[in-house]
Amino acid sequence: MSDRSRIEWTDATWNPITGCSPVSEGCVHCYAARMAKRLAGRCGYPADNPFQVTEHSEKLEEPLAWKKPRRVFVCSMGDLFHDDVGTSVRRIIWQTMARAHWHTFIVLTKRPDRMWSFINSLIHEKDFFADAWEGPGEATDRFPNVWLGVSAENQQRADERIDVLQQIPAAKHFVSFEPLLGLITPLLKGIDWVICGGETGSDARPMHPDWVRGLRDQCQAAGVPFFFKNWGNWVPNDDRNAVWGSRYHMPWNYHTWDYVSGFQSVRVGKKRAGRLLDGREWNEFPQELR
């Protein structure tokens, strides 16, 4: 059921649009593309090209049936701001988010320029804006139940996308550093939440713990909530290595970061790698504006 999710930072997923196409390094081993391939010919995913951008009209008002307030990840199986998604569909989705004002909607994109263009057009349509949010309270240009975010996998993408995000009116701004592929010094001014996670799948790339610690420490210094989703398929090779067992003691299951110190990561799979960073889980969220 789409009103439940295994994604650690959300309660539900809502996919009125599925499908996407690669735009940067983080897309190389896309989990959504893998899942769409498994669903080819079923559940509305085209048999010949399951990850092509597809509208699921029967789902456009789906959250209205969910009576219990939830955090809802919008388009977890695509990008709402892909070039092939029509403006009219986005408007219907925005109207649904307005009507379902008891939920918090989390919208993530790798295309912040298109997000900014769309939001800017809504702000200047006073009739649409006032009518849409008449129920939950005053109509402002900071959509009260919509959080907007960008994905940034390395320093280049962080520099490109966070600056645009900071200019877009939203109840909350967030950045998802997943998969985190390098050390990043983000621009956290105006950012309300940071998510960090490693890559999954058979070809997953490892994530250095210092990259994660760097983000966490910057968040703590700036007072920004930090959510560590998981290590992905690789985990730092610390004293837990003794329990991995002989099945992992193969050269291809190890990645050596530093040949002087011998520091390595070991590939054990997402479930075994877990979510602990320095001995604890990091499950911080921004305060919700209900």
Whole-number pLDDT of residue 237: 83
Share of the chain above pLDDT 70, in %: 88
Q: Residues 6 or more apart from 151 whose CB is under 8 A from it?
A: 26, 108, 109, 110, 157, 161, 175, 176, 177, 178
Specify burial of residue 247 (Cβ count, 10 A radius: 0-12, 13-18, 19+): exposed
Query: How many other CB atoms are there within 10 angstroms of residue 57's CB atom?
Result: 10
- CB within 8 Å of 21: residues ≥ 6 apart: 51, 53, 82
What digits encode the pLDDT tens for the residues 121-171? 988 776 665 555 554 444 444 589 999 999 999 999 999 999 999 999 999
CA angle 108, 111, 112 (to 5 degrees): 80
Q: What is the mean pLDDT of residues 180-189?
A: 91
Query: Which residue shows structure tokens 């190389």?
Result: 28
Confidence (pLDDT) at 252: 77
58: tokens are: 């029967």
What is the residue-averaged pLDDT of the chain? 90
- Region at 124 (left for phi over 0; alpha for psi -120 to 50; beta for the rest): alpha
125 close to 118: Cβ distance less than 8 angstroms: no
Helix axis angle, 112-123 relative to 155-165, nearest 10°? 0
Is the backbone peptide bond immediately before 179 cis, with ω within 30 degrees of 0? Answer: yes
- In this predicted structure, the answer to whether residue 173 has a pLDDT above a threshold of 80 is yes
What pLDDT sits at residue 267?
A: 93
- What phi and psi values does residue 211 have, to the nearest 5 degrees? -65, -40
- Structure confidence at residue 3 (pLDDT): 65
Token pair for 96: 């649904």
- Could you tell me the pTM of the whole model? 0.92
pLDDT, average across residues 57-80: 97
Helix axes 112-123, 87-99, angle to 10 degrees: 70
More confident residue, 220 or 142: 220
Radius of gyration for the alpha carbons in the chain, expressed in angstroms and rounded? 20
Q: So what's the pLDDT on residue 290?
A: 47
What pLDDT, in 10s, does the model give residues 203-216? Answer: 999 999 999 999 99
Does residue 53 sit in helix, strand or coil? Answer: coil
- Decide which of 56 and 6 is more confident: 56
274: left (phi over 0), alpha (psi -120 to 50) or beta: left
Instruction: Give 238's DSSP letter.
Output: S
The predicted structure's pLDDT at residue 138: 44
Q: What average pLDDT does range 254-271 have in this prediction?
A: 91
What is the DSSP secondary structure assignment for residue 49, as one 8-state letter? Answer: -
93: pLDDT strictly greater than 60: yes
